[in-house]
Amino acid sequence: MSRRRKIYEGKAKVLYEGPEPGTIIQYFKDDATAFNAEKKGTINGKGVINNRISEYVFSRLSHIGIPTHFIRRLNMREQLIRQCEIVPIEVVLRNVAAGSICKRLGLNEGDPLPHTLIEYYYKDDALGDPLVSEEHIACFNWASQEEMQDIASMAIRINDFLCGMFAAIDIRLIDFKLEFGRLFDGDFSRVILADEISPDGCRLWDMKTNEKMDKDRFRQDLGGEEEAYQEVARRLGILQNDD
């Protein structure tokens, strides 16, 4: 384990070379960051829970035909994934106003949006991941038009599916972030869902109490992060400590 090659270390995950060509091991850390890493901390056991939640969500999505990088979970903190080239765009889906859109457009947190919004942010830590339009993406060739069509249609399907999945366990999906990657096959490539889907990158509110069950608890110093992540996992029916 200690001998394997580290490929990349991000804020919440580490990527290691996988056992076979074209594979990578994705390791989930307990580290938490917010506001472009201006705030740093740890949420005990977060990596273990996010590994399980992301495994669950990616498996459910692959059952509805969304191609993903997920192959299988290896242990408490690691999963085997397909190697892909990350498209440098963060895709944010919003069903209810919260977070940066409130500041940007003067909305109140919790305001319903007339319809689901899809936003794109250019992945660049030094620039603070700026909001960009499809024009920018085309102009700077960050993704082709065909790729953007695939990304948008997958993102909308994912949102529809996840809204229903969470509603069934009394959780409202306020917004979330997706990342996509290119999977190469000779000269061709196709876009697949990558990264993770967990309470780190989603806003999840309890349907009855509006209590926050996601990383906003850490961002806003509300406390109870561990318990909130555990509760999401529990409602999804994901068992703990069974490895």
Q: Which is nearer to ligand C5P, 133 or 145 (CB)?
A: 133
Binding mask 211-230 for ligand C5P (x = CB under 6 A): ----x---------------
Give 90's Cβ-side CA count (13 Å radius): 19
Kindly state whether residue 99 participates in binding ligand C5P, applying the rule CB under 6 A: yes
Written as six digits, the tokens of 124 are 């660049």
# residues contacting ligand C5P (CB under 6 A): 13
Distance of CA 177 to the CA centre of its chain: 5
Q: Is 116 in the site for ligand C5P (CB under 6 A)?
A: no
Neighbours of 82 (CB within 10 A): 17
Give yes or no for residue 13 binding ligand C5P (CB under 6 A): no
- The DSSP string of 126-177 is GGT--EE-HHHHHHTTSS-HHHHHHHHHHHHHHHHHHHHHHHTTTEEEEEEE
Q: Does 52 bind ligand C5P (CB under 6 A)?
A: no
The answer to whether 155 contacts ligand C5P (rule: CB under 6 A) is no
Cα separation of 79 and 81, whole Å? 6
Rounded least distance, CB 178 to ligand C5P, Å: 9
Min dist CB 19 to ligand C5P, Å, is: 29
Q: Minimum CB separation from ligand C5P for residue 24, in Å? A: 20
Part in contact with ligand C5P (CB under 6 A); list of ranges 41-49, 92-100, 158-166, 224-232: 92-100
In angstroms, the CA 89 to CA 92 distance is 10
Give the β-pairing of 31-34 and 39-42. antiparallel
- Segment near ligand C5P (CB under 6 A), from 19-27, 139-147, 185-193, 196-204? 196-204
| DSSP three-state, residue 199 | coil
List residues near ligand C5P by CB under 6 A: 90, 92, 99-101, 129, 175-177, 201-203, 215
